[in-house]
């Protein structure tokens, strides 16, 4: 069965960077886009960007241009999301999700990774 | 890209039907049939309920249905049940080759 397993919770200081991983199993990793979505406590979902694991091509929400980088290691079927210049407002649960159909919806999600930014 | 507009809350009694709206622009909701809906219970990852405006994934109850008119998409839950109490989010593809979520709607079963 399709599974996306994310790395564990992180605590970072303001100005630092964080890299969250998303290991895929149960399907051909390079055949489906990986998207990243975050959710601050008590807030709504926020789409951050997508990555094509086959080509490495990416597309980011304008808000995250310049601070987010999405990469992959196809040999271990793992996608990564790195967010730099962290601020307290970046404290959130970060999810990876597999793009299905035309990449327009997300059936399979990771369990979420809590990133806390605090001095 | 601004978030799509949803009502903050919608409520209904068991057995009733409710509808959640999701309003965008011609650059997102109105321009593409790529609207999806997600249900999220507290502390859980979102769950896909409707994709491509009106399609239901395998395993999702047929009490959930989706539609679209112009720049507004809608999710209808018929025969409301206690387990439907959750947050619901719409999402749309945009003309910038990105995606945007709605502001979210809390559904309460009275």
pLDDT at B1: 78
Average pLDDT over residues A88-102: 95
Q: Which of A50, A62, A109 has its CB closest to that of B46?
A: A109
A113 interfacial to chain B (CB closer than 8 Å): no
Of A62, A107, A111, the CB nearest to B1: A62
Output the pLDDT for position A102: 83
Residue B36 pLDDT exceeds 90: yes
pLDDT of residue B27: 96
Is the pLDDT score of A101 beyond 90? no
B67, pLDDT greater than 90? yes
pLDDT digits (tens, 9 = 90+) for A17-32: 999 999 999 999 999 9
Mutation target to probe the A interface, by most A beta carbons within 10 A, among B4, B45, B68 is B45
Q: DSSP per residue over A51-111, as a string?
A: E-TTT--EEE-GGGTTTEEEEEEGGGTEEEEEE-S--GGG-EEEEEEEEETTTTEEEEE--
CB < 8 Å to B97, chain A: 59
pLDDT digits (tens, 9 = 90+) for A35-71: 999 999 999 999 999 999 999 999 999 999 999 999 9
What is the model's pLDDT at position A12?
98
Note whether A59 contacts B45, CB cutoff 8 Å.
Answer: no
């Amino acid at each position: 069965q399709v599974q996306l397993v994310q790395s564990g919770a992180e605590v970072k200081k303001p100005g630092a960077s964080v890299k969250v991983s998303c290991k895929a199993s149960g399907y051909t990793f390079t055949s489906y886009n990986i998207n990243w979505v975050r959710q601050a406590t008590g807030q709504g979902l926020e789409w951050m960007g997508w990555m094509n694991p086959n080509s490495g091509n990416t597309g980011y929400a304008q808000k995250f241009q310049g601070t987010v980088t999405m990469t992959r290691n196809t040999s271990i079927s793992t996608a990564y999301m790195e967010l730099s210049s962290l601020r307290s407002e970046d404290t959130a649960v970060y999810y990876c999700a597999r793009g299905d159909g035309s990449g327009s919806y997300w059936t399979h999600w990771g369990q979420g990774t809590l990133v806390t930014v605090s001095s | 890209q601004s978030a799509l507009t949803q009502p903050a809350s919608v409520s209904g009694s068991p057995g009733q039907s409710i509808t959640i709206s999701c309003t965008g622009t011609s650059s997102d909701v109105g321009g593409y049939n790529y609207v999806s809906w997600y249900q999220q219970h507290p502390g859980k990852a979102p769950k896909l309920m409707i994709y491509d405006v009106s399609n239901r994934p395998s395993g999702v109850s047929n009490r959930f249905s989706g539609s679209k008119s112009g720049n507004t998409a809608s999710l209808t839950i018929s025969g409301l049940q206690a387990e439907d109490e959750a947050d619901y989010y719409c999402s749309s593809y945009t003309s910038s080759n990105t995606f945007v979520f709605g502001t979210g709607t809390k559904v309460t079963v009275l």
